[in-house]
Amino acid sequence: MAEGTVPIIFVGGFLGAGKTTLLWEAARVLIARGKKVGLITNDQAPGLVDTGFLRRQGVSVGEVAGSCFCCDFGGLIREARGLRHSVGADALIAEPVGSCTDLSATILQPLKENFREDFRITPLTVLADPMRLAGVLADERGGLHPGAAYIYWKQLEEADVIAVNKSDLIGAGERARLCGQLGARLPETAVRFMSAATADGVEAWLDAVLAGAEGGGRVVAVDYDTYADGEAALGWLNATYELRRSDGAPAWDNFASDVMGRLGRALARDGAAIGHVKMLLEAGDDHLAVNLTRTGDAPSARGAIRGAPERALLTINARVEMAPERLREFVGAAVAEGAGTGIVVAPAEIRALRPGRPKPTHRYREVFVATASRAPRRRTWGRWLVVILGLFLVAYALFLMRAWPA
Ligand SMILES: Nc1nc2c(ncn2[C@@H]2O[C@H](COP(=O)(O)OP(=O)(O)O)[C@@H](O)[C@H]2O)c(=O)[nH]1
Ligand SMILES: [Mg+2]
């Protein structure tokens, strides 16, 4: 087990920003330094592609499923402590749900007040996809539902560090432009650029947050009605299918790309804005991840399934601006059409939902500042226990000395 406080890094940011890719890359850097790392993923429902993908990379992963971290603070603590004790993690990196905000008020501040002996809270990093960021900087909404755009801006506002990811996709001119626009909107916030995919800038970011001041330096005002509207604008679908392939059916990799292509085109025809669609196809020791992060974009794939194994497991996570029931139909149709007659599809679990109104376990109105007179609550309880025990012992001693009144 790791002794002393363990740094915990929160990587927030909108759907598709590259959080999971960064978690994996940062874990690789720390593992190469001889550290033990625990990752914590989060989703509104079980069956998370990110968890499956990260576990496939051989790193220890805890998952809080069924609620965001802020609404299941106890679940977050359970996973963080579990990773700290079971694998002796020296560092924890956590990825909140991409449509979640107000992390500073609901997670970082309560951690700082009540768990500072266990965890060191590093600066809150909010990751941004440069194209989506350019969109919201240009017209405030960037093509998102107004509530989703509100969430996007709140994420940026509460960040200790904004990390513009995917810097491999933009040139120096675009970097300077984004930097200037962010500086004008959020002059107090540190901005850095990195590419989680190529690892460029990841180590420098990691060193900066690990050495940085305590995180959660600001708490922003959040209108929970608008926040809830933004979350509810997205249909949420987590589905798992068991697949069996007959001879002559398309290769697994082609099948996965075909399903994603069909789904992407169908959603584009319907005019539905994609938060992200992720697929993980697993067969034996191999896996293939396919992602689509915006309507009209080409899917990107990572990994491969070698040979022609008979069975495979397909997990799909889709967050799209449409009713969950319709999303279920779109996904079901794409899988069935992609499978054709050569692949038998058996749905194992399908959950389609609209995230409910966020009801955080804790919410701080201001930044928690540790002072001698405002010690962590658990210590205060400990002190009371010592006082009560002391009084009891004194009373017992008096009784033994027969000084106790009859
Ligand atoms: N070009 C490029 N793509 C990236 C980078 N980081 C992530 N991606 C891709 O962006 C998509 C979403 O990444 P993911 O880590 O799942 O995002 P999340 O939803 O924020 O966790 C995937 O297709 C990734 O391969 C990057 O630095 N450069
Ligand atoms: Mg992710």
- Tens of pLDDT, residue by residue over 317-364, are 999 999 999 999 999 999 999 999 999 999 999 999 999 999 999 999
**The dihedral formed by the CA atoms of 294, 298, 302 and 303, expressed in degrees to the nearest 10:** 140
* Total residue count of the chain as it appears in this document: 406
User: pLDDT tens digits, residue range 250-267?
Assistant: 899 999 999 999 999 999
Distance CA 236, CA 319 (A): 5
Average pLDDT over residues 188-210: 98
Name 290's bridge partners: 279, 301
Confidence band for 381, pLDDT divided at 50, 70 and 90: low
Is the minimum distance from the CB of 21 to ligand 1 under 6 angstroms? Answer: yes
Q: Is 130 in contact with 167 (CB distance < 8 Å)?
A: yes
The pLDDT-based confidence of 383 (bands split at 50, 70, 90) is low
Structure tokens at 82: 């579990």
**Residue closest to 238 by CA, chosen among 99, 100, 46:** 46
Cα of 19 vs centre of ligand 2, distance in Å, is 5
In the chain, % of residues over pLDDT 70:
94
Q: How many Å apart are CA 137 and CA 216, to the nearest integer? A: 24
Name beta bridge partners: 346.
Answer: 242
Q: Which helix (H) or strand (E) holds 4?
A: none
- CB atoms under 10 Å from CB of 140, counted, come to 13
Question: What are the structural domains of the chain?
Answer: 6-229 (3.40.50.300), 235-353 (3.30.70)
Q: What is the mean pLDDT of residues 44-55?
A: 93
Q: Which is higher by pLDDT, 297 or 133?
A: 133
Give the pLDDT confidence of 109-154 residue by residue, as tens digits. 999 999 999 999 999 999 999 999 999 999 989 989 999 999 999 9
Instruction: Place 397 in a pLDDT band, splitting at 50, 70 and 90.
Output: confident
Q: Is the CB of 51 under 6 A from ligand 1?
A: no
Average pLDDT for 39-54: 94
pLDDT given for residue 392 in this prediction: 75
Q: What is the CA angle 28-32-33, rounded to 5?
A: 120
Distance 399 CA to ligand 2 centre (A): 64
Nearest CA owner, ligand 1 atom 1: 166
